[in-house]
Amino acid sequence: MGGIRALQVNKTDKGQTVDFVSLSEADLGEGDVTVTVEHSTVNYKDGLAITGKAPIIRKYPLVPGVDFAGTVVDSSHARIQPGDKVILNGWGVGEDHNGGYAERARIPGDWLVPVPSNMTTSQAMAIGTAGYTAMLCVIALEQHDVKPDSGEVLVTGAAGGVGSIAIAVLSKLGYRVVASTGRTAEGRFLTDLGASRVIDRGEFATPVKPLAKARWAGAVDAVGSVTLANILSQTMPEGTVAACGLAQGMDLPTTVAPFILRGVKLIGINSVTCPLPRRLEAWQRLSSDLDLAKLGALTSRARLEDVPQIAQDIVAGKVRGRVVIDL
């Protein structure tokens, strides 16, 4: 069966190209499960891949898109049957294995998790890898004893995908959430999601002190660099910071002071190769701890043809919340 509509990235002597193509089943790649992709999304990582701003794609030509949700049409995997609704996050999909920006995908069944029973595939992609990563961050804070009565929890990059889902989940769980953003016009959007107050990201752009005034019981950081270093210096004794992004940079200009003088914990969140039991836990928690009405409020919809422009916009910090791509 041919005629599978897809967005494909290739590499030429002049650089990267992005084209809309028609693939055959043989073009999809290896795997024991074939899925009709119903929805995908645009994560920050997808933006970097499509624009070529970072070397995300390692194999050409490639269909990008690090996540998707859809219905299984063929499977030789023991756990997965035709008709199952499934989610794919990570595992190198959209990096060195064809990803979610195609009407069909073929992947190893071990990479898939079921769509929670109270969600549609569209809602699963409104959450997407960004929201699943946010939930892993929340679980990390809980596991390290950051409780709703511990103090304020900071969320950086608050208007983005990880930040917006983190705010919605944390507020539903009873945390007092402070949203940090460079888009102060989004203040109403962030307080509607559940932030108790909104601060300018410029507060974390100052030179980093080894230790600053302790302000945060915990934090979810998708920014990295100077911002993360400043957050660490401001975290309360025994507080925890979950780090999952590098929007500002990969460097971390900090000292050991927060760790050895306050017992601050910096927990790295790797959503790409996260083991299956933790994936299942994260999605189950999202099904109960995320207000799906709020999810609708932070979600917009687009077509496959819109993805190249959205990729540019998300890297430029112009995308609010989540964008679902209807396949």
User: What does the pLDDT read at residue 2?
Assistant: 52
Place of tokens 């499960």: 33
Residues 135 and 252 in one domain: yes
Same domain, 167 and 97: no
What length is written for the chain? 327
Is residue 101 assigned to a domain?
yes
Helices (H), the chain: 44-51, 121-143, 161-172, 187-193, 225-234, 257-261, 276-289, 292-297, 307-315
* Average pLDDT of adjacent 10-residue blocks, the chain of 327 residues: 86 90 94 98 94 92 97 97 97 96 97 96 96 97 98 96 95 98 91 96 95 98 97 98 94 97 98 95 97 90 97 92 94
CA distances from 169 to 148, 174, 216, 251, 268 (A): 12, 9, 18, 28, 19
CATH of the domain at 190: 3.40.50.720
SS3 content of the chain, % helix, strand, coil (to 5): 35, 30, 35
The answer to whether residues 183 and 247 touch, using CB atoms and an 8 Å cutoff, is: no
Q: Is there a contact between 65 and 310 (Cβ–Cβ < 8 Å)?
A: no
Whole domain around residue 166: which residue ranges? Answer: 129-268
Q: Within this chain, do residues 172 and 108 fall inside the same structural domain, yes or no? A: no
Amino acid, single-letter form, for residue 136: L
In this structure, is residue 178 part of a structural domain? yes
Beta strands 235-243 and 265-268 are parallel
Structural domains in the chain (count): 2
Does one domain contain both 156 and 95? no
- What is d(CA 42, CA 319) in angstroms, rounded to the nearest whole number? 10
Is residue 276 in a domain? Answer: no
